Chain A
Amino acid sequence: MTQFVVEDLERTLSPFRGDASAILRALHEVQGEFGFVPDSALDVIAKTCNVSRAEVYGVFTFYSDFRSTPPAACVVKVCVAEACQANGSREVVADLKAQGYDVHTGKAVDGIQVEQAFCLGNCVLGPAAFVNGQPVGRASAATLLEAAREVTAL
Chain B
Amino acid sequence: MIDWSSWLFDGLLAVGLLLLAWLTVISADLFRAILFFIAFGLFMALCWARLAAPDVALAEAAIGAGISGALLLDAYRVLSAPTLAAAPALSRLPGLLALLLGGVTGALSWVFWRLPPPVLALDELVQARLADSGVSNPVTAVLLNFRGYDTLLEAAVLLLPLVGVWIINRQTPAPLESIPVGVTDSPLVDTLVHLVTPLAVLSGAYLLWAGAHQPGGAFQAGSVLAGAGALLLLSDRLRPTATPQALLILGLILGLVIFCGLALGVMADGSPLLRYPPAHAGLLILVIETALTISIALTLLLLVSGAAGLRWGRRW
Decide whether A and B are members of one complex: no
